[in-house]
Structures are given as C-alpha cells and as structure tokens.
Amino acid sequence: MPEVNLNDPVDVLIIGAGASGAAIAWSLADTRMRIVCLEQGDWIKPSEYPTNGADWEIQQHGPFNIDPNKRGRDTDYPINNSESPISVVNFNGVGGGTILYAAHFPRLHPSDFKVKSLDGVADDWPISYDTLDPYFTQNDRMMGVSGLAGDPMYPPKQPPLPPIPMGRVGERLASGYNKLGWHWWPSDSAIISRPYQGRDKCLNLGPCMSGCSQGGKSSTDITYWPEAIRAGVELRTRCRVREITLGKNGLADGVIYYDEDGQECHQKAEVVVMACNGVGTPRILLNSKSSQFPDGLANNSGMLGKNLMFHPVASSQGVFEENLGSHKGPQGCCILSKEFYETDLSRGFVRGYNMQITRGTGPFTTALHGYATGRIPWGADHHKAFQKHFDHVASIGILCEDLPELHNTVTLDPERVDSDGIPAAKINYTLSENSRKMLKHGIERAEEVLYAAGASEVASTDLVQMAGWHLLGTARMGTDPDTSVVNPWGRSHDVKNLFIVDGSIFVTGGGLNPTSTIQALALYIADTMKKNLANLFD
Amino acid sequence: MNDTIIATDFPLTDEQRTKLRHLLNALIPASQDGHMTSAGELDLIAYLKANAVDFLPVLLTILDDLDEEFLADTPEQHHQGALALSHDNPALFQELIYQVYALYYQNPVVLEGIGAAAGPPFPRGNTVESGDLSLLDPVLAIGKRYRPVS
Ligand SMILES: Cc1cc2nc3c(=O)[nH]c(=O)nc-3n(C[C@H](O)[C@H](O)[C@H](O)COP(=O)(O)OP(=O)(O)OC[C@H]3O[C@@H](n4cnc5c(N)ncnc54)[C@H](O)[C@@H]3O)c2cc1C
C-alpha cells in the first residue's frame, strides 16, 4: 500500500463508506491511484450486533435503532423530519445503510429508465438497463447475491447463489398468488445461501435490520471494503466532512473535515467523489458555499436537494391458522410480486409498485407491535391474541414508485447541528396524490392475496412512517446542466472533478429497493472514469 | 417473585409490592390453562435495576398513585385500575407496557411456553424450510412479462 501523508494531496477522495462508496473505491483501486475514503462513522464489530445477546430484541431499540435521531451515536447527524410523513432511516459507519438494510436486492427494470417515453411522466434516464447490466452482474458477484434465474419479469440474469429459503411463509403466500394467477418470484437477496468468498452462509437469525452477527448478510464492510483495502485504498473512520473546498481554477481541491477529536483537518485531492447518500450528499454540497456557488457547490441548476424520492410503503399483515415459523429467516427477504409494477392507467395512477413479502418478528416485538396496533391487548385476552399472531403471520410491504417533485427537498436545518456543529438535514416532503392512490390499490391487492392464501384476518397500515430507507433523486443525473446536477456518468456539470455516485443521482426511483442499482451505477461510473482518465475534466 | 432482591436492594414497601404484583397480573395474567405464567410472578424490579434503572422512580410514582383499594380489589378491579392509568397517562402507561413486555418476553420459561428458543439467536441460528419451488410452475407458464422499452 502506498504511504500517504495526511497532508499530501491524494488522487481520489471518496466521502462516505457505504454501499456506493465501497463499490467505487474497490473498482478504482486497480488504477493504483492514491485513494482515500473519509467516513464519519466507525467499523462495526460483528460481536456488537444485537443477535449476540439474549436481549437482542431490546437492543434493536438502542445503538442499532434504524432511526438516527434515536440511535444516540455521536457519529450520526440529526435529521429534521417534522415536515414529512415519512422519516429518514439510515446507518452511518463503514458499510453505511447496508449495515442495517434488509438486503432485498432487486434491480430496476429496463422500463424504469424510460418512464417519460413510456408513460409521459418525470424524465428518462440518460442511460439504460443495458448500460448497467454488466455492472449489476459484477456487483452481484462482489456482494454475494442469492436468487433464482428465470424470473419472467426481467431480462435473463443469473444470481451467483441459489435462493435463500422461502419457508412456510413464502409457500403460503405463493399459493395465494397462484390462486389469483399473479406473478411472484423468490427474492434476489444480498444474503448468502451457501458459503461464499470466505464467508459462512446465512443462519436464518431473523432480524437482518439490526445487523448480521454471522456475516451472512452482504454489507459492504465485509464484501467490498476488505478487497479495496487490500488493493491499497485507505479508509479513515471518524472523519466527518464539513465542506468541499474550491480551488482558483473552479475545480474542487479537497475537503475540510473533523477528525475523531473534533480537530479541523484539510485534505487536498485531485478528484472528489460524494457517496453520502441522498440526504448526506446534498447536505454537504449545500454546506459548501462560495462566491462562485452561493447556493451550494455544483448547484447552478438549482436542483441540488430537490426531487427527493422515498418509496412510500404501506403494509398488510395476514394471520394464519398454520404455524408458519414466521420469526425465523431473513425478515425482509422471502418472495416478491411484480404483478402491479408497470403502468395500467385503469388503476387510476401512473407507474406501479412491488409487493415484498416479509416474515414475522420476535416475541417481544410481536407483543409490542400488537399493543401499538390494538391487535394484541394487554389483560385477560393477551395470551390468546399473542398465540394467534406469534409465528402465525405473514406480511406484504407495498413499495410504491415515488415520482420526482421539486417541492420534496433536503435543505440545511436553520437551527439543529451535529456534534461538530455542521447543520443538520431538514426534510420537506408531501405524499403525492398518485402515491396515495397507489398505496390504496396496493393495500387492497395485498389484502386480496392474503385472504387467497388462507389468512383468517388481515390488518393494514396505510403509510409506514419509519420507512425512509431509500433516499433518492436529490442530485439527479441528466444531459442538461439546467435541469440536472451530474452528467450521465456522475460528474458534476459545474465542477468537473466532482463526482456523485450514491442514490442522489437517480432520475426516477422505480418501485423497488435501490441498492443493487446504486452500486451498479457506482461501478459503471468508476469504469467510465477509468476509461476517460486522460481527459477526465474535459 | 424474588422478594429478597426487592426488599434489600430496592426499598419497596409491602403495599407497593402488593400493588405491583396486582398491576403486573392485570397487564399479563396467567393463561387460563395455566400454561403461561403471569407477569406478576417475574421480578420486574431486578429487571429494571439491570436494564432500565431510570424507570424505577417512575414506577414508584405509578404505584403510589394507585389508590388504597387497589390492594384488596378483585382482578377485574385491577384491570379497571390499569385501564384508568392507560387513559389518564398514556405515555407513562406505554413505557410501563414496554418494560413489562421486555421482562416477560425475555424470560426463558415464557419463551419455552410460546415455543421460542431462549438465549441469543447467534450462533444457534434457525432452520427454515427451503420451500417448494414447483409452486412457480404457473408463473413460468405465463412466460416473459417484462415491459419492452423499444
Ligand atoms: C433499515 C434499513 C433497511 C433497508 N433495506 C433495504 C433493502 O432491503 N434493500 C435495499 O436495496 N436497500 C435497503 N436500504 C437502503 C440501503 O441501505 C441504501 O439504499 C444504501 O445503503 C444507500 O447507499 P449509499 O451509498 O447511497 O449511501 P449509504 O450506504 O447510506 O452510505 C453513506 C455513508 O456516508 C457517510 N457520510 C455521510 N455524510 C458524511 C460526512 N459528512 N462525512 C463523512 N461521511 C459521511 C455515512 O456515515 C454513510 O456511511 C435499507 C436501509 C435501512 C436503513
């Protein structure tokens, strides 16, 4: 590994060590350039994850809470969700969101890149599914993805590992889908169903969304990062970037960051890559103001922080007579249905949604959730209701495509700051009429399939609040510098040595979990950079 | 209930102790078939001391706010008392439920009763059936379904 003096300029400075930061670091490493990644959080030891303890369900509410405002780690930054019906959830540390993600790993569909041409809404992407196809495959191999080839809803693809077990939950729901003649398929999951690349296979612990003690879940701290570091990339943790600095030539010349002790440090770089996600990236760019960019760096278009897309989520839970063993197995990965994924205007809305079948929860969470929803009362009827639900439920998450809208934004909070004094992120988000109709349609269809599968009771939640998992669109890609922040290969239109590779560059969000596509994009951008090294800033 | 710990390590009066047992039994009584124990049989005080010490004084206030009759009341009246608490102070009641459920659903005897394994999930793991993939036959029979883009 090349010696790097902290004061020496580096060739490439990546900010954020999550899903996309890890992928681009690994891919660029073979150039032998000096690459440094600054990450505000820590490495997480597998022994720290809740499932190492008997109190694993309680621990999920503590330092591994999905809500950064509740997690109480000083490596997090506050997020003001008061003007949004959906709250942002994330993780800040090596691996980023992949530490806590459910690892449901579908790709965007070919049609998702062409929504303007096909459906007359939003914009087409300047790249296509075919552009990303080789990078999807590369990423599946690097992460370790399990799934079943042959899904008729996709062009041919071959996951490297066989699917994870669908269990009785999957079988039961599959029978419901079959009764209705609807599509379903075993989920592509970034969870290894067999030993893979020195990692041992998934043990079906259950709560992937509080971290995986076994390492069966493919988070980037155990997939890309070890490889990238072996190849010479330096990863500095506990380094929180405040702003990107601009040189006299109008190019980014590095960053100012705070180290673990709160010391202000400067790092010079030839190329800066933002990988802080759809909230973290606009936050830092908006905070990088200069006379040349008074509204934030790379924001001549005024699009930075705008068009925020989540995937609004509704959920329906069915109760079954049969014991489905539902608290066992990866909670968020089982089977899915794309029956209502594509536009059918007779439904009253444009675009569509993915139905993600999820398993049940542990005993404490079942009881607590049952109390909160009124489905499991305290008192004399408690045991009967608990027994009816625990291990006897299957749920369907309805994950809707959210179209980009200018008024859905990430801005700097005027009052709140993180532990280094950097302004917090503020979310302003309104659920569109189109999304509302889609959610309603989704709940009705989910209830239909749950009953068809034999549920005796079904209860639904119209909109899940703590479901701001997918943070997209706030620095979107495009060919027109007036309406987009980065060009078709992630380079800022305004600052030619600044790249963005995370979810913020999505033009539209599709109706499914985005991380596979985020990482494929990062690999594609890395490859394009490598091909254009000689004239990267032209 | 472990009276020694309560008596020596946390100064509950007899009255408070009785109220606590009634209150816990109102929240999670024993099951009618006797298969599941009641929450009143478990040691909430020891649990809170180890895991949520800040809630102890709050719990004392809850107990002191229950009137004298609660001591001698019937289970139905205990239920009404708990119901009144849930109406009068929903936030406090919610926190009480959280702690009582946490105590109850981590107890090895309770977990055995509901057919769940006690202790950490890792490295024990769980077995999940792979499922019958021939169920996909009707899906495959429909053939290619992705939307053409050109
Ligand atoms: C509970 C949960 C469940 C999820 N489930 C799924 C799922 O099933 N499938 C799916 O596809 N996606 C899922 N996601 C979303 C997934 O985690 C994200 O899509 C993905 O991680 C985004 O990748 P990214 O590279 O854009 O950003 P991230 O992975 O979020 O990484 C950003 C990194 O940047 C760092 N950073 C931010 N600001 C700074 C700064 N100023 N200085 C230094 N470092 C900084 C952060 O600490 C973080 O580590 C889930 C997320 C959560 C939280």
- The residue ranking higher by pLDDT, A469 or B71, is A469
* B-contacting residues in A 349-378 (Cβ below 8 Å): 362-364, 367-368, 371, 378
pLDDT for position B69: 87
Given a contact cutoff of 8 angstroms between Cβ atoms, the answer to whether A518 and A503 are in contact is: yes
- Residue A7: the pLDDT is 66
pLDDT at B10: 64
pLDDT one-digit tens code per residue, B121-143 = 999 999 999 999 999 999 999 99
Instruction: Write down the mean pLDDT value for chain B.
Output: 92
Q: Which of B27, B131, B142 is closest, CB to CB, to A378?
A: B27
Confidence of residue B7 (pLDDT cuts 50, 70, 90): very low
Confidence of residue B3 (pLDDT cuts 50, 70, 90): very low
pLDDT digits (tens, 9 = 90+) for A254-310: 999 999 999 999 999 999 999 999 999 999 999 999 999 999 999 999 999 999 999
Give chain A's domain count. Answer: 1
In this complex, the residue of A51, A118, A363 whose CB is nearest that of residue B120 is A51
Instruction: Write out the DSSP string of B84-145.
Output: HHHHH-HHHHHHHHHHHHHHHTT-HHHHHHTT---S-STTT--------GGGGHHHHHH---
Residue B6: pLDDT above 50?
Answer: no
Do A167 and B29 count as a contact with CB atoms less than 8 A apart?
Answer: no
pTM over 0.90: yes
Ligand 1 pocket test: which of A13, A38, A40 has the largest number of ligand atoms within 8 Å of its C-beta? A40
- Alpha carbon distance A33, B13 (integer Å): 71
pLDDT at B5: 44
Identify whether A537 is part of a domain: no
Terminal-to-terminal C-alpha distance of chain A:
30
Whether residue A51 is contained in a domain is answered as: no
Please give the span between the terminal C-alpha atoms of chain B, in angstroms, as a whole number. Answer: 72
Report yes or no on A4 lying in a domain: no
Structural domain spans, chain B: 10-120
Q: Which residues of chain A have pLDDT under 70?
A: 1-7
Residue-number span of the structural domain to which A448 is assigned:
10-45+63-531
Task: Write the residue in A114, A204, A387 that is nearest to B125 by C-beta.
Answer: A204
Note whether B97 contacts A: Cβ–Cβ < 8 A. Answer: yes
pLDDT band for B1, please (50, 70, 90 cuts).
very low
User: For residue B72, what pLDDT is reported?
Assistant: 82
Closest Cα of chain A to B6: distance in Å? 22
Contacts (Cβ under 8 Å, ≥6 apart) of A43: A93, A94, A221, A237
For chain A, the residue count is: 538
Q: Does A3 fall in a domain?
A: no
Residue A457, beta-bridge partner list? A319
Whether pLDDT at B61 is above 50: yes
Supply the pLDDT for residue B9: 60
The backbone torsions φ and ψ at residue A352, rounded to the nearest 5 degrees and listed phi first, read -160, -160
Residue A362 sits in a domain whose CATH number is 3.50.50.60
Do residues A278 and A308 touch, judged by C-beta distance below 8 A? yes
Residue A176 Cβ inside 6 Å of ligand 1? The answer reads no
Count how many pairs of residues, chain A against chain B, have C-beta atoms within 8 Å. Answer: 166
* Residue B94, SS3 per DSSP: helix
Residue B135 near chain A (CB below 8 Å): yes
